[in-house]
Amino acid sequence: MATKNITVVGAGLVGSLLSIYLAKKGHIVNVYERRPDMRSAAIPAGRSINLALSDRGWRGLEGAGIGDAIRAIAIPMSGRMMHGVDGTLNYQPYGKEGQAINSVSRRILNMTLMDCAEQYPNITLHFNHRATDCDIDAPWVAFENTHTGEQSRVESDIIIGSDGAFSAIRERMQKTDRYNFSQDYLEHAYKELTIPPADDGGFRMEKNALHIWARKSFMMIALPNTDGSFTCTLFFPYKGEVSFEQLRTEDDVRVFFNEYFPDAVPMMPTLIEDFFGNPTSSLVTMRAFPWVYGNTAALIGDAAHAIVPFYGQGMNCGFEDCVVMSDCIDASGGDWTAAFANYERNRKPNGDAIAQLALDNFIEMRDKVADPDFLLRKKIEAKLHAEYPRSFTPLYTLVTFSPDVPYSEALRRGRENDTLMDAILAIPGVHDRWDDEDVRSAVQSFVQ
């Protein structure tokens, strides 16, 4: 297969990983990143401090040979720990024994990917390069050096836009004829807060769980970090009766947190500084089509499908994009038009599906997880999965622990599960009499 000169725009998680996949095939890869090198500069690593890595993401990392390096710094979270307003805790496993999602530092993960990329002689990372324009026909990308102000125009055979939700490459593609595009913002914003380590350096709450304070119209979550701290994220409306716009003074914030998160407040000594010091950030779903342009340009990761974070799948989906893109290139025998077309055909429906699943899961996380009926439903789903593993798999397991099941199939099967669960829960006394003969045979008739 002919060696190509490839310009990758964006050295975030997905751009860095993809460059490794491309370099392994022998291509010459130049990666341009708007920000300074986060390995030498004390800059924020991007949108969120930690991420939930799950099976699709692992598959992507394994392909680049850095699974073990990341495993060493990942904290498994085997379930949700729900915090009631009265401080009661309720634990719900995400899957079977041994299944877990993993809290990983975005910064360390990105730095590891960059280090790995730089070990390839045919990858060059260029920092402080902001894409200002591009021509996807030529193709070339124009950059401005954000330090020197110098302008340059980089010609190559192929442009990959891995430059995130507000992708400059996608913006150029949006100007082509009949381009489909949408951006939909949630009415909720997010703000990161901190629970520092205990005085002895240990964790102040259960380490191996994702903590959720579900409060119907809003929620806070917390993920563990290796230093014993937790990063909390408050997902909260911009406007309205209970909203960011109402929390103006330090007292407003204290009263609000004491009312809704009383068990968390004593663990958050820097609450007020964090609340007023950290940004209030928006949450957007972006859909675009097409993702590719002939044999010269392709979008990947958030540039193609920015999603809300509620399924913890943004990065995992982006890494899966890299695996599929790599497979499509291998299968195409050097025909990049075919490779890109197959990549798009495979991934677009799955990008749409995970976007929808992520929106749905916000409702589930903030509202339903606090509902006893919902917890019961989850317990029955787990039982069904244990007894009928071929016929019934819970949606969460399909999305998170089943990398061979495409997101679009997970979405479809999740809807079928709902219909099935409605029928099973309508059996009188199903939860108390699970093992009675009549209930067992009724359940069996639905599942099989």
Residues in touch with a copy of itself (CB under 8 A): 177-185, 282, 284, 287
CB of 362 to a copy of itself, least distance (A): 16
Cβ(79)–Cβ(92) below 8 Å: yes
Indicate the residue among 181 and 276 with the shorter CB distance to a copy of itself: 181
Which regions of 10-74 does DSSP assign to beta strands (E)? 28-32, 50-53
CB of 290 to a copy of itself, least distance (A): 11
Indicate the residue among 184 and 371 with the shorter CB distance to a copy of itself: 184
Indicate the residue among 188 and 413 with the shorter CB distance to a copy of itself: 188
DSSP state of 95: S
Side chain identity at residue 85, one-letter code: V
As a three-state string, the secondary structure of 270-291 is: CHHHHHHHCCCEEEEEEEEECC
| 3-state SS assignment for residue 185 | strand
Sign of the Cα pseudo-torsion (159, 163, 165, 171, in order): negative
Indicate the residue among 50 and 285 with the shorter CB distance to a copy of itself: 285
Indicate the residue among 177 and 241 with the shorter CB distance to a copy of itself: 177
Indicate the residue among 150 and 184 with the shorter CB distance to a copy of itself: 184
CB of 186 to a copy of itself, least distance (A): 9
How does strand 230-237 pair with strand 5-9? unpaired
Indicate the residue among 91 and 179 with the shorter CB distance to a copy of itself: 179
As a three-state string, the secondary structure of 106-150 is: HHHHHHHHHHHHHCCCCEEEECCEEEEEEECCCCEEEEEECCCCC
DSSP conformation letters of 418-446: HHHHHHHHTSTTTTT-TTSHHHHHHHHHH
CB of 182 to a copy of itself, least distance (A): 3
Indicate the residue among 151 and 282 with the shorter CB distance to a copy of itself: 282
CB of 181 to a copy of itself, least distance (A): 6
In this structure, how many other beta carbons lie within 10 angstroms of the beta carbon of residue 277?
Answer: 10
Residue 418 tokens, joined: 């709902």
Sign of the Cα pseudo-torsion (290, 281, 112, 9, in order): positive
CB of 179 to a copy of itself, least distance (A): 7
CB of 31 to a copy of itself, least distance (A): 29
Upstream peptide bond of 139 is cis (omega within 30 degrees of 0): yes
CB of 149 to a copy of itself, least distance (A): 25
